[in-house]
Structure 1
Amino acid sequence: MTYLEFMKQKENEALENNKEDSAVVLLLEHICGLETNALFMKRGDKIEDEIVNKFNEIFDKYLHENQPIQYLIGTSCFYGYDFIVNENVLIPRFETEELVENILYKYDEHFGGKKVEVCDLATGSGCIAITLAKEEPNMHVVASDISKEALEVARKNNEKLGANVKFLQGDMLEPLKGKKFDIFVSNPPYIPENEVVDSLVKDNEPNLALFGGEDGMKFYRIILQGLRPLLNKKALVAFEHGYDKKDEMLALCKKYFPECKAECIKDLEGKDRMTFIYVGDFKWQEE
């Protein structure tokens, strides 16, 4: 059996068991130690018995034990970096990669290569903070989280990937008091408490990092209410949020930052996924 034939067979098995077929490539990349392009180049080669046996051992758990493939292999790729993940942190999503991409773009546009102080609140695995620090050396990044267990994972990722992020433990803005930032980013818990969530997510990923109060907006209110003392005169604020929360987000921005420009940015699927606030001296040009 070739690699391609094996992948097709396992993708069909996944779909027959109501599982995501994308897990097949992720698992095979992990077993083979190859990136997607290199694995693609092997598609016509005969797959080795050793690879098949290792794959099936983990894949069987994926099919029958209701665990995300990322937790089973212990890693998740984010922005080209392999992050350690486990049950103490959320699995990084591709939408959050878009948040990072937009922050890097806005940094170039508005700060022009200057050294800046950055905060990532509710950092989880550290994927946002560490990626920003890796991609832009002029960003001095501080990251915080209420979960000691999550910060243990984030620190391991920081060391593994050779970043220089400083981590603080505490509830919301509490550990940040007395500090000032040029860029503030947060992807806090934002799923409404009564929203139906897939069991693969709800039963495995930390609920502390998933649910954001009755309407999903609890933590945005807490952050925006107390954020201004933490910002320098010119600052960029960036949030990821639920795709249906554009109006609520912009209303909160207007309430707590009435003099500032705020915009909601769509993700690649055309959903209103990110809100940016431009504080202070930003030269804004309407599109």
Structure 2
Amino acid sequence: MSFLRELVLDYEKKALEKAISEETVMAYLVELSQRERYDLYLHFEEESPQDLEKEFCAGMERILKGEPMAHVLGYSWFYGYKILVNRDVLIPRYETEELCANILNRMDTFFSNAEKIDIADVGTGSGAIAITLCREEEKCVMRASDISSEAVDIAKKNAQLNEATIEFLVGNMLDPLLEKGIQLDVLVCNPPYIPQAEEMESSVVDYEPHVALFGGKDGLKYYREVFMNAHRILKEKAFMAFEMGWNQREAMTKLIKEILPEDRFEFLKDINGKDRMLFVYHNL
């Protein structure tokens, strides 16, 4: 049996040797122990419970081999909501929380007097975006779709876990929504946007679904598809919100002007100052 300090310092050293952030060690211990960080620090000089030490060491060995911490835990946190994850869905990213915050802000701006807001999250994956918007805006009538039935199964579990009322559909991009004749005030999409030939970290390529990562040769395949069919699914006044690659602004601008020349659009920067969000306004 070891002291908590010894355990943490030992694995922080091992993490740095593997080019993994040492912060991962404490973050994993906090989640595993279900104790506040300050509480762990207060008891750093005490022996760790044997069962905790065993589980912590086993999990850290998996993390040191490149497995994402969220997969070791079986969940991740997004906008304050617990989101179950596995190899069938992408792990929610912090940047996407910013997308949700901006969508909520614009719903308040454009639909403050509406009794309900019809919204769909296309390519929902784990359901993190749909759950967040559904829980944070009570006027939302939420649908969520994904081409992967396995992803939709996880998203359904997450919706139940977080008490979010969402209609889930299986199908490629807008197809299941069009088949049901659904009309939207807000269309949200965080599609695969990585160019096919781009190299990725092994922790992403080896553990996360490729169908949710790569967006064709130029990374814009799915944006092109949504833009071309947007008129069939949007109400008279509506907006679309997308996450995008930080270096896709120029190509995206050209694409919108070609396909949606009448619509106003803007790019928003994330907390790191990178262009990561695109909003397209239809008659707004």
Normalised by the length of structure 2, the TM-score is 0.93
> 2:117 maps to which residue?
116
Quickly say closer, same or farther: Cα 1:107–1:47, change in 2 above 3 A: farther
> 1:232 maps to which residue?
235
CA distance in 1 between counterparts of 2:38 and 2:225 reads 46
Shift of 1:77: 0.7
Shift of 1:229: 1.3
> 1:106 maps to which residue?
106
> 2:17 maps to which residue?
16
**1:190-219 CA-partner distances (Å, limit 9, x unpaired):** 111110101110011000100000111111
CA distance in 1 between counterparts of 2:53 and 2:277 reads 41
CA distance in 1 between counterparts of 2:278 and 2:221 reads 16
> 2:249 maps to which residue?
246
Please state if 1:211 is matched with 2:214.
yes
> 2:196 maps to which residue?
193
Letter in 2 for 1:159: Q
Shift of 1:82: 1.1
Please state if 1:145 is matched with 2:146.
yes
The secondary structure found in structure 2 opposite 1:234 is: strand
> 1:43 maps to which residue?
41
**1:203-257 CA-partner distances (Å, limit 9, x unpaired):** 1100010000011111100111111110011101100010000112222222222
CA distance in 2 between counterparts of 1:107 and 1:11 reads 43
Alignment of 1:1-287 (within 5 A): 3=4, 6-34=7-35, 38-45=36-43, 46=46, 48-50=48-50, 51-64=52-65, 66-112=66-112, 114=114, 115-177=116-178, 178-280=181-283, 282=284
The secondary structure found in structure 1 opposite 2:200 is: coil
Q: How many residues align?
A: 277
CA distance in 2 between counterparts of 1:40 and 1:10 reads 19
Letter in 2 for 1:39: R
**1:60-86 CA-partner distances (Å, limit 9, x unpaired):** 12213x311111110011111110000
CA distance in 2 between counterparts of 1:2 and 1:111 reads 55
Shift of 1:113: 5.4
**1:147-196 CA-partner distances (Å, limit 9, x unpaired):** 01100100000111110011000011110111100000100001111101
- The alignment-based identity, stated in percent, is 40
CA distance in 1 between counterparts of 2:130 and 2:217 reads 28
The secondary structure found in structure 1 opposite 2:266 is: strand
CA distance in 2 between counterparts of 1:109 and 1:7 reads 47
Shift of 1:274: 0.5
CA distance in 2 between counterparts of 1:173 and 1:188 reads 12
Shift of 1:10: 2.2
Shift of 1:15: 1.3
Quickly say closer, same or farther: Cα 1:9–1:119, change in 2 above 3 A: same
Say what the alpha-carbon RMSD is for the aligned residues. 1.6
Letter in 2 for 1:54: E
Tell me, yes or no, if the aligned pair for 1:113 and 1:138 is still in contact at 8 Å.
Answer: no
CA distance in 2 between counterparts of 1:73 and 1:218 reads 33
Quickly say closer, same or farther: Cα 1:248–1:48, change in 2 above 3 A: same
CA distance in 2 between counterparts of 1:80 and 1:27 reads 17
Tell me, yes or no, if the aligned pair for 1:3 and 1:44 is still in contact at 8 Å.
Answer: no
CA distance in 2 between counterparts of 1:82 and 1:4 reads 28
Shift of 1:126: 0.4
The secondary structure found in structure 2 opposite 1:142 is: strand
CA distance in 2 between counterparts of 1:27 and 1:76 reads 11
43-52 or 193-202: which moved more? 43-52
Normalised by the length of structure 1, the TM-score is 0.92
The secondary structure found in structure 1 opposite 2:254 is: helix
